[in-house]
Amino acid sequence: MSRGPAKENAMKLVSMTPLLAALVLAGCATAPAPDLSGLPATPAAFKSTAPAEGQWAVVPPADAAERGTWWAVFADPVLDELVTRALERNTDLQVAAARLQQARAGLREADARRRPQLDASAGVSRATDPGVTTQPVSLGTAGLNLAWELDVFGRLGLASQAQALDAQASEALLQSTRLMVQAQVAQAYFALRESDAERRLVRQTLAAYRDTLRLSERRLAAGDLGELDVQRLRTEVASTEADALALDRQRALQENALAVLLGEAASGFRLAEAVDAEWALRAPVVPAGLPSAVLARRPDVAASQRSLMAAQARLGVAQSAWLPDLTLTASGGQASTDLGDVFRWSARAWSVGTLLSLPIFDGGRRQAQEDRAAADATIALAGYRQQVLTALREVEDQLGSLGLLQRQADALAQAVQSSRRATALSEARYRNGQISQLDLLDARRSELRSLRQAVQVQGAQLQGAVGLIRALGGGWSEG
C-alpha cells in the first residue's frame, strides 16, 4: 500500500527538522570582528614635544564634543565675522549636511523593514473559469495584505546596525567638514593679511626709492651726480614696482578664494586692506596633548572607524544570506464576480500563511556578494589605518614646524633690528659722501628682505597654529 502525499510531506518535514534546528542555533547573524593587529600602536607622546607629566590624560572618544569658537583666540573681529558667514553658506557644509540626511533616511528605511508591512489593494479583472463557465466573468477585489519578515537570524538587525553606523560616520564627517571650513577660512584670511603686510612694506620702500630717484635726477641735471647712479636707482624702482604688482595679483587671487569659502561670488566680494602699521596678530600657544586624546577628538578618524564597523556589519549581512528567510503573511478583504456585491459581508475572504525560503542554488551570487563585502571591509580597515597615521603625522608636522618657525622668527627679529640700524647708518654716511648710492641701495634691499621674511614667518606661524588646532580635532582644553 503506497503512502499518501500528505504522509510523504510530513516525513520530509520530520527529516529536515534537525537541519532547521541547527540553522536556528548556529545561524544568528553577527558582524565579524575586524583584525586590528595591523593598526599602528598609539605612541606615548609626540616626538616634537613632551608634555609635562600629569598635565594631560587619556580621554574617551569625544568626536561629537562641541569645539566652540576656537578661532576667537586670535582676537580678530573680521575673522569672527568671516567664519560665521562661511558656516551659513559654504557649499561643502551644505553637501555634508545633505549626506547626513541621506544616511539618516537610510537608517529609517532599514528599521522599517523590520516592522510589519501593510498594504491596501483593489482591482478588477476579467477572465474565464473553465471549471465553472466558458463565458468570461468580471472579478472585483478589495482588501488588505499584511507581511512581516521575522528576523530569526539577525540579518535585518545587522542591516539596521550598518545604516546606523553610516549615519554616525556621516555625522562625524559633517563635524570634520565644519572644522575644515573654519580652518580654511582662517588660513585664507591670514594669508591675505600677510599679503597686506608685505604690500605695505614694498609700497613704503617704493615710495622712498621714488623720492630718492627724483632727488637724484635733479642732482644729475645739476651735474652733481653721475648717470650710472641714476640708472641703478631707476632699475631698483622698476624692480620694486614689479614686486608690488605681483603682490597685488596675489592678494586678488586670495580674496577670490576666500569668497568661494564663504559661499559668495568673487565678483561682489571685497575685503578692506588692513591699515595697522604693524601686523598685530600673533599665533597662540597651542598645547599638543597625548596622541590618544588627538585620535579621540578627530572627527575624521571617528568617521573612518564607524565606516569600518559598518563594512563589518554588511559582511555579516552577506554571510547571513545563506540562511533561511521566514515571513508571516495575512490578507483579508472582499471578492465577488458581481461588482455591486464586492463590499457585501458575504463576499469576504481571508488567508494566513507562513513562507520559509532556503537558498539552494543561485549560480554563485551569494558567494560573490560575500566576497565583495569582505573586500569592502578590508578596504575600510586599510582606510582607517591610513586615517590614524595621517592624524598623527599632521600633528607632528605642525608641532615640528611651529617649533622651528619660532626659532626662525627669533633669528629674523635680530636680522630686522640689525638691518634697520645698518640702513640708518648708511643713509647718514651717504649724506656725508662717505659711501656710494649703491651701498645705500644694498642696505635698503637687505632691510626690505629681512622685513618681508619676518612677515612671511609670522604668517606661517598663524597658518601653523590653525593647522595644529585642526589636527588636534578643533580647540583644546587642559586637563
Q: Domain check: are 290 and 392 in the same one?
A: yes
Grid cell of 393 as nine digits: 603625522
Q: Residue 452's domain is classified under what CATH number? A: 1.20.1600.10
Do 385 and 312 lie in one domain? The reply is yes
Three-state DSSP class for residue 325: strand
102 domain-assigned = yes
What pLDDT, on the 0 to 100 scale, is given for residue 10? 40
- Distance between CA 180 and CA 188 in Å, rounded? 12
Count of positions (residues) in the chain: 479
* Residue 478 near residue 55 (C-beta atoms within 8 A): yes
Q: Which position has the higher pLDDT, 143 or 74? A: 74
- Give percent helix, percent strand, percent coil of the chain, each to the nearest 5: 65, 10, 25
Number of domains in the chain: 2
Cell of 431: 649724506
One domain for residues 178 and 297? yes
Cβ atoms 299, 473 nearer than 8 A: yes
Distance, in Å, from the CA atom of 138 to the CA atom of 341, rounded to the nearest integer, reads: 12
CA 302 to chain CA centroid, nearest Å: 11
User: Is residue 179 within 8 Å of 98, Cβ to Cβ?
Assistant: no
Average pLDDT over residues 283-302: 73
Which of 358, 383, 411 is the last residue before a domain boundary?
Answer: 358
Exposure string over 137-163, b if 16+ CB within 10 A, otherwise e: eebbbbbeeeeebebbbbbbbbbbbbb
Give the global pTM: 0.79
Q: How confident is the model at residue 431 (pLDDT cuts 50, 70, 90)?
A: confident
Q: pLDDT tens digits for 143-196?
A: 778 777 777 777 888 888 888 888 988 898 898 899 999 999 999 999 999 999
- Give the separation between CA 53 and CA 197, rounded to whole angstroms: 40
Q: What are the pLDDT digits (tens) for 387-426?
A: 888 988 888 898 889 889 999 999 999 999 999 999 999 9
Q: What is the pLDDT of residues 89-143, one digit of tens each?
A: 999 999 999 999 998 898 888 888 888 888 887 777 676 666 656 677 666 677 7
Q: How are strands ordered across the β-sheet holding 325-336?
A: 117-129, 133-150, 325-336, 348-357
Phi, psi torsion values for 136, nearest 5 degrees:
-65, 140
Q: Do 452 and 396 belong to one domain?
A: yes
Which residue, chain included where needed, has cell 608634555? 51
Task: Report the SS3 class of residue 344.
Answer: coil
CA distance 430 to 185: 47
Q: Are residues 329 and 466 in the same domain?
A: no
Q: Of the candidates 338, 358, 378, which is a domain's last residue?
A: 358
Residue linked to cell 606661517: 460
CA dist 431 and 104 (Å) reads 77
pLDDT in the model for residue 5: 44
Q: How far apart are CA 391 and CA 295, in angstroms?
A: 7
CA separation for the pair 221, 244 (Å, rounded): 29
Q: Is residue 249 part of a domain?
A: no
Instruction: Give yes or no: residues 315 and 445 share one domain.
Output: yes
Residue numbers of the domain that contains 351: 119-150+325-358
Q: Answer yes or no: do 69 and 108 share one domain.
A: yes
Q: Are 290 and 428 found together in one domain?
A: yes
- Sorted by sequence, the CB contacts under 8 Å of residue 275 that are 6+ apart come out as none
Highest mean pLDDT among 237-241, 306-310, 350-354: 237-241
Residues 349 and 413 in one domain: no
In Å, how far from its chain's centre is CA 454?
33
By percentage, how much of the chain surpasses pLDDT 90?
Answer: 31
Q: What is the DSSP string of 15-66?
A: HHHHHHHHHHHH----PPPP-GGGSPPPPSS-TT--PPTTT-------TTS-
Beta bridge partners of 354: 328
Residue with cell 491596501: 120
